[in-house]
Amino acid sequence: MYSMNQSTLFNIDENHTIESISNPRTYKGIYAFHKYWGKKPVESLDYCIEHCTNKNDIVLDPFLGSGLISKETHNLGRRFLGIDINPFSIEHTLFLLSLPKAEDYKEAINSIKKNILSKISESYSLKNADIATHFLWNNDTLQEVWTKVNNSRKKIQLKPTDIDLDKIKKFENYSVRNIQTGTFFENTRINSLENMTIYDLFTKRALHNIDLILDEINKFSGDLKRALQLTLTSSSGQMSNMVFAITGRGKTKNQQSEKIEVGSWVIGLWRPDLHFEINVWNCFENRANKLYKALLEQDYTPISYKDTVSDFYTKQAKMGIIQGNSKNELKKIPSESIKLIITDPPHSDRIPYLELSEMWNCLLNKQSDFSEEIVVSNAKTRNKSKDKYLNDMREIINESSRILTKDGYLLLYFNAKDRNSWSFFDSIEKQTHLVYLGSFPMIYSANSVVQDNRKGAMKSDYVLVFNHSRVKKMLDIFNKINGWTRDKPFKEAKHV
């Protein structure tokens, strides 16, 4: 058993209404702290959990993702079981469920700063002893060095000196100590190459300084250590070689400017020719300050979790968080024991989750089991075809039908641009006892990285609703939702 502290984002007595689904709030605080593709608005989760289950019923998510659903389910007084193959997903979920106290976190950050800031700063020190904040690179050529005037916001742009170049050379042979070198695949979809390693994503100097931070993080344990690790992963994009330089942008649409601005890491593995190397400590401390402010707003209630299906059931646990293949883990769940399955499975070839998470898993020193992921990948060497994906999804749906109670619900969040990716849908009613009730569109609070803007993509994600019998009482839960339809949403998807 693991001790955990639970915090509440929303009032657990709040009645989640039909209107809230159509007007989702923007993520704030803890939920906004770490990037992750596939975060869904919590309003639809809360409404469905509240209206489809009773207190102490079991809610299952076999594709846990960011883990937001685990927190919402617990806040609403239901038991929860979550499964994911992705090590990062498990760590992020446990982070959300088990936050450290703000004072303990601040003390840890101050301790880390005291022990290593001078070492990190020395690696960025300039001829006049100032500390650089940014380095502008064009491929492997250093073009500019930026620093600030007396820690003010005003920046000074300098040409590189021999001292700057000599400092970089000192790290040429550096090898990581606390970090996995990573497994990457040839995948043009995410700008990944098969021979890539973590050394392609960061400068050797950045990796040296990240290792210094990890040396300190590894002195801690439990919830506090995990929060510090997630502070590092959440800031790692800005520490990488993937921060593009914005050029030629004037104040008006038709105006050109020679000013160069700092862009931000876009989720993926694109390494632009013109890019920034940013002071690692500054990135880490900026994220730490954001997390500290979010922690100040949290309440704490201790809970516990189990990490196997067997322990979750035999110990009557409130929370089960399991790393593994969903197809295999579902077979361990007793029949007719789950009241609600609500999940956002991989949408065919839309997002290769493990491939995109590899940078974070490297920093967490976690090994990814790519062979067990249920997904379609453009990386040919992975042999993750659409046919295999569809077979896996059919198997998961079959198991879902078995483990659902007679009055239980299966809610699938789904979107795929081609008709073939929806073919598992056709077999649901044929191969199981599940009945399609209808669907409603997923509304986002703003344009989001989870939305699919590719040509031919459907305009919205859909929540597909199934259960074992179509009765009026059950339909009343959904038929007032804006956009609810008995039609099949994939009729707008294209045959490929």
Whether 261 and 305 share a structural domain: no
Whether 129 and 143 share a structural domain: yes
Whether 382 and 446 share a structural domain: yes
Whether 193 and 267 share a structural domain: yes
Domain boundary, last residue among 245, 272, 295:
295
Whether 278 and 180 share a structural domain: yes
Task: Tell me the average pLDDT across 163-181.
Answer: 97
Lowest pLDDT segment from 115-119, 169-173, 389-393, 459-463: 459-463
H/E/C letters for each residue in the chain? CEEEEECCCCCCCCCCCHHHHHCCCCCCHHHHCCCCCCCCCHHHHHHHHHHHCCCCCEEEECCCCCCHHHHHHHHCCCEEEEEECCHHHHHHHHHHHCCCCHHHHHHHHHHHHHHHHHHHHHHCECCCCCEEEEEEEECCEEEEEEEECCCCCCEEEECCCHHHHHHHHCCCCCCCCCCCCCCCCCEHHHCECCCCCHHHHCCHHHHHHHHHHHHHHCCCCHHHHHHHHHHHHHHHHHHCCCEEEEECCCCCCCCCCCCEEECCCCCCCCCCCEEEEECHHHHHHHHHHHHHHHHCCCCCEEEEEECCHHHHHHCCCCEEEEECCHHHHHCCCCCCCEEEEEECCCCCCCCCHHHHHHHHHHHCCCCCCHHHCCCCCCCHHHCCCHHHHHHHHHHHHHHHHHHEEEEEEEEEEECCCEHHHHHHHHHHHHHCCCEEEEEEEECCCCCCCCCCCCCCCCCCEEEEEEECCCCHHHHHHHCCCCCCECCCHHHHCECC
Position 489 confidence tier, pLDDT thresholds 50, 70, 90:
confident
Lowest pLDDT segment from 118-132, 305-319, 323-337, 479-493: 479-493
Domain boundary, last residue among 253, 278, 295:
295
CATH code where residue 425 lies: 3.40.50.150
Instruction: Write the pLDDT tens digit of every residue in 100-114.
Output: 999 999 999 999 999
Task: Look at residue 454 and tell me whether its pLDDT is greater than 60.
Answer: no
| Structure-model confidence comparison of residues 449 and 477, the more confident one | 477
Whether 82 and 112 share a structural domain: no
How many folded domains does the chain comprise? Answer: 2
What pLDDT score was predicted for residue 296?
Answer: 95
Whether 242 and 290 share a structural domain: yes
Lowest pLDDT segment from 164-168, 468-472, 490-494: 490-494
Mean pLDDT taken over the chain: 87
What pLDDT score was predicted for residue 416?
Answer: 59
Task: Look at residue 475 and tell me whether its pLDDT is greater than 70.
Answer: yes
Whether 275 and 307 share a structural domain: no
Position 348 confidence tier, pLDDT thresholds 50, 70, 90:
low
Whether 154 and 226 share a structural domain: yes
Task: Tell me the average pLDDT across 146-174.
Answer: 92
Lowest pLDDT segment from 240-254, 256-270, 331-345: 240-254
Task: Tell me the average pLDDT across 79-87.
Answer: 98
Range of the domain at 263: 102-295
| Structure-model confidence comparison of residues 74 and 419, the more confident one | 74
| Structure-model confidence comparison of residues 327 and 454, the more confident one | 327
Whether 231 and 318 share a structural domain: no
What pLDDT score was predicted for residue 404?
Answer: 97
Domain boundary, last residue among 266, 295, 324:
295
Whether 128 and 79 share a structural domain: no
Position 266 confidence tier, pLDDT thresholds 50, 70, 90:
confident
Whether 121 and 196 share a structural domain: yes
Position 5 confidence tier, pLDDT thresholds 50, 70, 90:
very low
